[in-house]
Structure 1
Amino acid sequence: MHRPTSEEIAALPLYRALPLDRIHVLRNQEQCEAAEVELRLAGHVGFDTESKPQFVAGGENTGPHIVQFATADRAFIIHTEAPGTAAFLRTMLETEAVVKVGFGLASDRTPLFRKLGVALAATVDVSRMVRRLGFKDDVGLKTAVAVVLAQRFPKSKKVTTSNWALPQLSTQQLQYAANDAHASLLVFLALRDMGVPAPVAPKSRQPRRRFASVPEF
């Protein structure tokens, strides 16, 4: 299959992102419980993480700082250091009942285990599904949205490299984080409707330990 050029992608209609009123930052147990109900009902959810970038070689990586989940019509964003959300994160990341779909999820496993002490389970790497359309190499989210959804997916380098450890994220950060998880899910659902099989992810062999205590901001 043809990999679209930057010019071809630029000519596509803009990605239909979730409105801000459907992007929810979970801050307490009650909000987490309500989100868990929706995520379990969805069965397959978009998934991604964000980390504060390291600009100094050899600096300590303290991410991920943000974890995001998305259904077809909502996104949920959680600070990994927020009090009251630890049990929710552990449950959602480790459960086999909710399949997390996204791009490059292998790179999330070690940071999540290091930060939270949880083993990411039940995942689908959507890039491997896109490759089954005839691509020789892995395809990123921006290209996948263009190929599968025929839309132009915006990616701001300024937002990508912003400080994701801030307790109060900007509107641009919230939209960016939600888009990554939401678009991953929509690409997955479209490919599934096309009959493209999802790869079976092996069960994680990472050792499990008790969930780390979460410090206050």
Structure 2
Amino acid sequence: MPVTLPATPPDKTHIATLPPFTGLTLERITVVTCRASAEAALLQMLRHDALGFDTESRPTFHKGQNSEGPHVLQFSSMDRAWLFQSHQQETLSAAFEVLQSAQVAKVGFGLKSDLGHLGTRFGIIPQQLIDLDHSFRAQGYRQQIGAKTAIAMLFGQKLAKSKHISTSNWAIKQLAERQLLYAANDAYAAICVHQALLDAGLSR
């Protein structure tokens, strides 16, 4: 059935009543840990026309403190996610190749800060980015539409976004399962929204 976007985005109270969004499970999340797994991930990612994309950084706690992130770079197709950690330096060239590919669109929400951090830390300027906030603004929405609101609008579901996890230490070498799920499903939600907008003829 065609998607009809509501004239007014749902508020937090309404979103809280919705059934949960079914995200990727741990067995569909690949943490890229070595050169061989990076090469395998790169081959898989380059097969897609578009991937969901996001980054996570260890939070800053003091005024004027600069972020040292991103510490995690995550990509997702419609059925699998790949997570790269910045301390695994031998894996990062694969992530950078995807980011700089003009053939694979990288889709996300509010990518401006992610771009700033990527440029500052790695000198990377990604190509072929699609910021979903711009996609929703093109439909006439004035306020920023984030992942939770977009999932509610398009799927009638509630995306879990724990502040406790989002502000956790993303620089640790062994990420907790909850962090893996959070990071992967941020990127997964983006590609799901992008595909739904494409299917409805509301995005490029």
> Paired residues, what number?
198
Q: 1:63 aligns with which of 54, 58, 69?
A: 69
- Listed as ranges, the matches of 1:146-185 within 5 Å are 146-185=152-191
Q: 2:3 corresponds to which residue?
A: none
Which runs of at least 4 in structure 1 moved beyond 3 Å after TM superposition?
Answer: none
Tell me the TM-score normalised to structure 2 length: 0.93
Residues 1:132 and 2:135 are matched in the alignment: no
Residues 1:5 and 2:8 are matched in the alignment: no
**SS of 1:41's equivalent?**
coil
**SS of 1:31's equivalent?**
helix
Q: 1:24 corresponds to which residue?
A: 30
C-alpha displacement at 1:7, in angstroms?
2.0
**SS of 1:180's equivalent?**
helix
C-alpha displacement at 1:82, in angstroms?
0.8
C-alpha displacement at 1:127, in angstroms?
1.6
Tell me the TM-score normalised to structure 1 length: 0.88
C-alpha displacement at 1:158, in angstroms?
0.4
Q: 1:204 corresponds to which residue?
A: none
For 1:9 and 1:177, how far apart are their aligned partners in 2? Answer: 21
Superposed CA deviations along residues 130-168 of structure 1, whole A, max 9, x for unmatched, are 233432222111101100121101110100110000010
In structure 2, give the amino acid aligned to 1:158: H
Identical columns (%): 38
**SS of 1:18's equivalent?**
coil
**SS of 1:42's equivalent?**
coil
Q: 2:104 aligns with which of 98, 101, 115?
A: 98
**SS of 1:129's equivalent?**
helix
Superposed CA deviations along residues 158-210 of structure 1, whole A, max 9, x for unmatched, are 00110000010001100000110000000000001000133xxxxxxxxxxxx
What root-mean-square deviation, in Å, do the aligned CA atoms of Structure 1 and Structure 2 show? 1.2
